[in-house]
Structure 1
Amino acid sequence: MFDSATSQIRMQRSHGAAQVVMGPRGLIDLSQRGSAKAMLPRMTAGLPEIVFLNTSGGLASGDSLSFAVDLRPGTRAVATTQTAERAYRAQQGPARAKVALSVGAGGWLDWLPQETILYDGARLERETTVTLAPDAGCLLLEILVLGRLAMGERPQRLQLRDRRIVRRGGRVVHHDSLALDDAALTRLSGPALLNGARAVATLAMVAPHAPDLLTPARAVLDEPGVTAAASAPPGRLVLRMLADDGWPLRRQINRLLRVLRPDPLPRIWQV
């Protein structure tokens, strides 16, 4: 007879890695294993699209997921995810996710993943690294939603370590980190943190011309229900947005993307 009190159940873990290498004429190499997949929809206009997918449906304790894009010199592309990523309640150690992006000389990459939803009790460690050639550029988006808003969930326990690092010529030119834990959750209503918001997004452009877009970007930061601000350090444009719900935040981001990039939005990004 099965004794649940004395038997240990070994949970199956999900591991996946997908990498896409592209040149000016298209796909050079594609590798994928486990739960990570990459798709390249046929495009008739705009940048070539790379769409990543986690077939496991989310990240739980002990899972690992890796996405990578390597754009060779002279290549421009946009990479995104097919749907929102979910970080589930973790019984033991954290789930780990890595994103590695490389852009060759004269290239450009838009990294526009859809939102990450952090369930109550989630534990997630994630790192996004970007390596740029001296004259390459990128646009980076990150969206976090705290809890399942449709269910009225407000996380009481959480552990998040999230870093985005951009290097050009071996030198760090952009470093953005966010850490949340159980203690921080009790202070999220303070103005120094999220001011009570449950959805937060950061959009960063790293390119010599990025500061020139500060004025047009600020001109569209007026979506109802969204609090936003923009700054333009040398060689960068950084925008931060807060909202009580993911939908107004999504609308605000879509408006910004139309200002910051000349190409059509990815089809899955239409609202």
Structure 2
Amino acid sequence: MLDTSTDTRMQRSRGAAKVRLGPRGLVDLAQSGSAKAMLPRVTAGRPEIVFLNTAGGLASGDRLDYRIELTAGAQALATTQTAERAYRAEGGPARVTLHLQVGKGGWLDWLPQETILFNGAALQRDTVVELATGAGCLLLEPIVLGRIAMGEDLRRLHLIDRRIVRQAGRVIHHDALTLDDAALSRLSHPSMLGNARAMATLALIAPHAPDLLEPARAALDEPGVTGAASAPPGRLILRLLAADGWPLRRQINRLLRVLRPDPLPRIWQV
């Protein structure tokens, strides 16, 4: 007999990956479920960590947890293998947590590829960075609203995206973005996104960060991208808007060459 009940339980993905690095290389690696971490061999620049969600995207109720721990003096670049996709959700949001810990005198570049939000997506993401004394970081978060190449127009969305940076236990940077159905109806207003459907934030957290304000502003010259930069004490914050993800990526690449001495992540398609 066919089961005609309407109580259908969808399969959910769970994934967790943790990487611990010291100045001399890998200390510990743990991974489970759909989350994987790879450490490709590099010949120039900082050691690289590449995270991968083998589920192919985020759906309602999925859970993904990435963790990085750099011991004192360690440096690394961390990225994602490809763009993350948040699909239409019929239930609760997908939840992504990132815990990034940098020991004394260490440095982390967190440079993920873009997150693409499909119509009806529901995503809650929390990024928490713990910096020890003398540690610093560079944080990137690019977001694309809809499958632009397919002409997708977002009508429904639930996004909560929070980033908190603490140094020696004190909050020194807190950035949050919330988008819902009501906000989507106002996004085209000139005071909000206008015609932009791709956005990114870059945050450099270090004592020397304000010194790079003018070079960063000079690099904001990619056609089709609107950008602004500010330099509160110990930080440099850049915000970018574009109609499409490709010019946004080109602008990000230009800025990264100003903000950091090392090559771009090898996994990126540039």
SS at match of 2:89: coil
Q: Secondary structure at the match of 2:267?
A: helix
Return the alpha-carbon distance in structure 2 between the equivalents of residues 112 and 9 of structure 1. Answer: 38
How far is 1:194 from its partner?
Answer: 1.5
Residue by residue, what CA displacement relative to the aligned partner does 1:145-189 show, whole Å, maximum 9, x if unpaired?
A: 000111100110000000000000111100000000000000001
Structure 1 residue runs without a partner (length 5+): none
Supply the AA of the counterpart residue of 1:229: A
Shift of 1:237: 0.2
Structure 1: which amino acid aligns with 2:40? P
Paired amino acid for 1:89: R
State the match for 1:2 in structure 2: 2
Question: Which residues of 2 match residues 140-155 of structure 1 at below 5 A?
Answer: 140-155=139-154
| Equivalent position of 1:138 in the other structure | 137
Deviations 1:2-54 (A, max 9, x none): 254x3422110000000000000000000000000000001111100000000
Q: How does 1:28-107 map to 2 (within 5 A)?
A: 28-107=27-106
Task: Work out the CA distance in 2 between the residues paired with 1:72 and 1:64.
Answer: 26
Equivalent AA in structure 2 for residue 222 of structure 1: D
TM-score, length of structure 2 as denominator length: 0.98
The one-letter code sitting in structure 2 at the alignment partner of 1:143 is P
- C-alpha distance in structure 2 between counterparts of 1:7 and 1:173, whole Å: 49
One-letter code of the match for 1:2?
A: L
In the aligned structure 1, how far is the partner of 2:6 from the partner of 2:234? 57
SS in 2 for 1:263: coil
Aligned match of 1:201 = 200
SS of 1:89's partner is coil
Secondary structure of 1:258's counterpart equals helix
- For residue 235 of structure 1, what is the aligned residue in structure 2? 234
Once residues 163 and 261 of structure 1 are traced to their aligned partners in structure 2, the CA distance between those partners, rounded to angstroms, is 24
The percentage of counterpart residues that share the same residue type is 73
In the TM superposition, residue 270 of structure 1 has moved relative to its aligned partner by 4.4
Taking structure 1 as the reference length, what is the TM-score of the superposition? 0.98
CA distance in structure 1 between the partners assigned to 2:2 and 2:179 by the alignment: 39
Letter aligned with residue 198 of structure 2: A
List structure 1 runs of 4+ shifted beyond 3 angstroms: none
In the aligned structure 2, how far is the partner of 1:80 from the partner of 1:193?
29
Q: Which residue of 2 aligns with 1:162?
A: 161
Aligned to 2:223: 224
